[in-house]
Every structure is written in C-alpha cells, then in structure tokens.
Structure 1
Amino acid sequence: MHIVFVLFDNVTQLDFTGPVQFLSRLPGAQVHVVTKDGAAVTTDCGFSILPRSSFADCPQADILCVPGGHGVRDAIADTALVDFVRQQAKGADYITSVCTGAFILGAAGYLQGKKATCHWAYTQLLPLFGATHVPARVVHDGNLITAGGVTSGIDFALNLIAKIASEDVARTIQLALEYDPAPPFGGGSLKSSSDETVHNLRARVYDKAAAEMKMAIQHII
C-alpha cells in the first residue's frame, strides 16, 4: 500500500509527522515522502525534511495525504504541485489532508460539493472552494478525508487505519505509540477555550494569517 505525503516549503511538520508515524505502521505500508524536485523542504519549526522521492519518480498513491502550514499560500499557486496532487488523487483510494492542506486539495478541484474541515482559524475559507464546513476533528465524505488543525492528523490516521485494517489494528497501533491524550490544560479547542484567549490569539496570529490565505485563494480561483 503506497502512502504518499506531499511536502512543500514552510510546512507544519506535525501535520505530516503525526499521521506518518501512525500510517507507517499499517500492514504492508510503503511511505513515500515527496517534494517537487526531491530536495529538502523547510518546516515552520526551523529545520528541514529530506524527502524520499520527487514528483517524477513517485509511484501512484493508494493513500494521498497533504499537510498544511503557512506554506500553503504559495503551494496553491504552484502549478506543478497542484497538478501532481490532482493526478495522484485520480488514482488514489483515499484523498486526505491535515489542517490547511485542505486548500491544496481545493485548488486541485477535490473540495467542490464536499463536506470538509481544516484548522479552526481558516474554516470560513472552505466555501471558497465549494466545500461545506463540518465542525469535527475528522470529516469523511466518500474517499475524501480531511482533518482539523495539526494534532488532529493523528486522529485522522487512526480513523483511516480502522477503516482499512480494522479497529483492533488501530487500537494496537494506538497502544504501541501510547496515544492517550491527557493535556495539562483545558482549552485545546474553540469550545473549551475562553473568548478572551480566542480573541487574543486571533488578533496576534490568525486574523492576519487567514486574510493572507484568503487573498492567496482568491488569486487562483
């Protein structure tokens, strides 16, 4: 089973490293980490990731996964990257994204008329690609699976493992990787966070980031 992760500069590394850690444990999994030219890409954490393949030598994906990050703003305007995603998606059993990686699927034409999610700060932009936002960490619509922000990529991976292999396999992998979330603080979602915390975070980071993402999307549609 070929699992292809498409990377680009300024990717959010946990969007990728979370699900790949789990999906790589699927029986028969072959993971392919690809970039346009096979060169390393930067992450939002100050280090780089060296891929396994370039677009030219990547096999057909059974599972296609596109992570997000601030680099999505440039990625959706990268014709080679969007065309690669579009062509891979045609033959994939599952087309998936984490966080704002959904917008790359949107640029490739795979959100139109679909239910989807992404990071909470950008969900209002999903209708620009013809999608309907569903407020959940993982949203299934046919063979399209989208995950919310960052850590939800692990939930998405376990959901997909259960769907492909079985719930028992998913539970075993979950135990092997000791995924038993017990955050030290409440407030990891909009529902559990104070209005003040949400307001301050939006003002400091996401109002500007979402506006820039909207401009980038409007430029290509």
Structure 2
Amino acid sequence: MTQTLDRRTLLTLAAMSTAGLASLPAQDAKAETMQDHMTSMGMVPKDAPRVAMLVYPNMVAMDLIGPMTVFKIMRFNIELVGKDKSPASTDVGIPMAATHTFDECPGGMDVLFVPGGTIGTIACMQDRAVMDFMADRGNSAKWVTSVCTGSLVLAAAGLLKGYDATAHWAVADLLPLMGARHVEGRVVRDRNRMTGGGVTAGIDFALTLAAEMKGEEAAKRAALTIEYAPQPPFQSGMPQEAGEAMVASMRSARHTMDDGARQAAIAAGKRLGLQL
C-alpha cells in the first residue's frame, strides 16, 4: 500500500474512524480497533502524538468530531477516553463510545482534550472521578486543551488557574470563578493551554494546535484536505454580530442551563480554595 494518500482516501479514513468506530457499542468492538489497524498498516506512525479526547454523556458531537477529523488527517494517535465504554449520548443523537477507560489512559499524553456541551459539562464538573482524572492527566500532558464549554471542565479540575482561556460566549464569564482569566478570542493560547470558543471554533483550534505541533505547512495541508474556507451566509455567530435583541433572547432561553453552569463553577471555585 502506498504511503501517499490522496484527499478522498484521507477524508474516507477520517469519516470511518470518527463516525464508525466512535459509535460502536463496547460489546461489538473488535480486539483490533480501527486505530490499531491503521497503525499496523503504517498509516499512523508508532511515534505519532498521542491524543486523549474525553467522551461523556450529553456532549456536543461536533466539538469532538471537528478536531478529531483534523487530528486523524495529521495521523495523530487518538484515544477516546471515558468513565466506561458505554456509548455516550450526544446532542445530535449519534452515540460516541470511549475506546479507553480512565484507568486505561496513561499519563504523559501529548494532548488532553475536552469537548463541550453545557448539560454534560455541568455533570462532569460535579463528578469526582472525572475531576480526578482530568487533574491527574492534565498535570502530565504536554498540551491541555478544550473547545466550547469544555474549558469549564478544565477549570473545575484546577487546570486553568492563572491561565488565559476562552469558552462558548454564553458561559465564558464563568472562567474567572475558577481562577482562569477570560480572554475573548476564537482560539486562546497561554503556554501549554489552548482553548477554543463555541462549537465551530473546534476546527480553528485543531488547525492551530496542529501547526504548533507539526508545523504550519502540515496544518495548511490539513486545511486544504477538508477544504476549510468558511463563508458564513450571515454574520450572527458572535454576540457583537447578532445584536442585543437576539443575544437577550438566547440568554433567556438558556437561563436554566447557564445558571446550572454558574452554580457548578462557584462550587468548583470553592473546592479549589478560591475566595469568591
């Protein structure tokens, strides 16, 4: 098999491993995973960067799939990590199953990544097992990263104390409650912490990280592979673009959910010993 893969092959492999393997029930998973198979064929180098991506119930699927697609094209070694290997529900109804449990995920990963999803995020912030795992693996990871509300999970685990970070616009103001400095931006980097804004910022984040890890030229090739050239049909994706009336309406609709996130952030801040 040739080592030079064309665009269609890369996209097909990314789709197979993302949509197919990730949604397999644990009891149907084969002893040799797709990742193992790709590694054995030389498509994922043995020395490829190792990425641990958290999987949890009520997460936003695109928060995971966007970055995962880029990482697959970059030939990174990806582990989907969860409390167990039961398929986790997502916002679009497509279940995602972890390939590794917390105990099976080693320390010293190249990248630790957390996707978002406010309801699921709140549960993670209140789950001692998740917090312990994040704190332990985060302290030894080369890069500690997130997209959307995933940064609230990082912050609740104490991994953003004293760091600049961002999150989905509706809850980004909660970051200082857990010791982080909220900085507006599509992608925010502070030393080895890199956080992305809301859902679609996941691809921006992944390409930015890919450039840091493998060079700008390699990241540009990944962007070309997925034809990443956003041209939104209207400018309403950020509060300053959408206008006060739409933002107020959205905040009203999200009130109960966002208030739950605030209470979880306050509790986490107290747990971390912060004076609020």
More contact order relative to length (CA 8 Å, sep ≥ 6): 1
What is the aligned partner in structure 2 of residue 179 from structure 1? Answer: 228
* Alpha carbons 2:58, 2:90 under 8 Å: kept: yes
Alpha-carbon distance in 2 for matches of 1:90, 1:133: 21
CA deviations on 1:80-116 (whole Å, 9 max, x unpaired) are 1111111111221100011111111112111111111
Q: 1:216 aligns with which of 264, 269, 272?
A: 264
1:7 Cα shift? 1.2
1:47 Cα shift? 2.5
What is the aligned partner in structure 2 of residue 2 from structure 1? Answer: 50
1:82 aligns with 2:112: no
Q: 1:186 is matched by which residue type in structure 2? A: Q
Q: Which runs of 5+ in 2 are unaligned?
A: 1-48, 271-276
* Counterpart mapping for 1:90-101 below 5 A: 90-101=139-150
Q: 1:41 is matched by which residue type in structure 2? A: A
Q: 1:114 aligns with which of 151, 163, 186?
A: 163
What is the aligned partner in structure 2 of residue 50 from structure 1? Answer: 97
Give the SS at the match of 1:121: coil
Give the SS at the match of 2:171: helix
1:32 aligns with 2:79: yes
Alpha-carbon distance in 2 for matches of 1:98, 1:186: 21
1:166 Cα shift? 1.0
Number of matched pairs: 219
1:68 aligns with 2:116: yes
* Alpha carbons 1:38, 1:55 under 8 Å: kept: no
TM-score using structure 2 length: 0.77
Alpha-carbon distance in 2 for matches of 1:33, 1:102: 18
What is the aligned partner in structure 2 of residue 59 from structure 1? Answer: 106
* Alpha carbons 2:178, 2:266 under 8 Å: kept: no
Q: 2:60 aligns with which of 1, 4, 12?
A: 12
1:103 aligns with 2:155: no
After superposing on structure 2, the runs of 4+ consecutive aligned residues of structure 1 that deviate more than 6 Å are none
Alpha-carbon distance in 2 for matches of 1:54, 1:172: 33
Of 187-196 and 111-120, the range deviating more from structure 2: 187-196
Which structure features the higher share of strand residues?
1
TM-score using structure 1 length: 0.95
Instruction: Calculate the aligned-residue CA RMSD, in Å.
Output: 1.2
Alpha-carbon distance in 1 for matches of 2:258, 2:126: 16
Give the SS at the match of 2:222: helix
Alpha-carbon distance in 1 for matches of 2:157, 2:264: 14
1:50 Cα shift? 1.6
Alpha-carbon distance in 2 for matches of 1:90, 1:191: 35
Q: 2:157 is matched by which residue type in structure 1? A: A
